[in-house]
A = this chain, B = another copy of it.
Amino acid sequence: MQTLPLTEPVLLILLSLAGRPRHGYSILKDVERMSDGRVVLSTGTLYGALRRLLDDEWIERMEEKEGPRGRQAYRLTPNGRRKLQLEVARMKQLTRVASLRAVKES
């Protein structure tokens, strides 16, 4: 996991949180919007990914004033944001290569 190629679901979750902190369900809907309805995460995917991202400290849980149960918001850690930007840079480069390669020939 040292060269970290993020999977699509995880990338979209992080991008969703890049805009502002959100709680799980909100991420779900945002990812759907962001991808024009193409990516619909199952809750299994979402909460599994969130747990892993918490473990790796890409994101952190935000204390909700009240709300003893339900809705807990997550936000990117500074470290998570940094790594996400690296990931995006990586993606851009890959996209550049991909465009060159895929277009060639019929």
Interface status of A65 (Cβ within 8 A of chain B): no
Separation of A24 and B59 alpha carbons in the complex (Å): 39
Chain A 1-27 interface residues, beta-carbon cutoff 8 Å to B: 3, 5, 7-8, 11, 15-16, 18-19
- What is the count of identical protomers in the complex? 2
Closest B residue to A102 by CB, please name it: B88
**How many residues on A have C-beta within 8 angstroms of the other chain's C-beta atoms?**
32
Q: Which residues of B contact A49 (CB under 8 A)?
A: none
The list of the 3 closest CB pairs from A to B, nearest first, reads: A5-B8, A88-B102, A15-B101
What are 21 residue pairs bridging A and B, where the CB atoms are less than 8 Å apart in the complex?
A: A3-B38, A3-B39, A5-B8, A8-B94, A11-B98, A15-B97, A15-B98, A16-B101, A18-B102, A18-B104, A34-B97, A34-B101, A35-B94, A38-B90, A85-B102, A85-B103, A88-B99, A91-B91, A91-B94, A91-B95, A95-B95
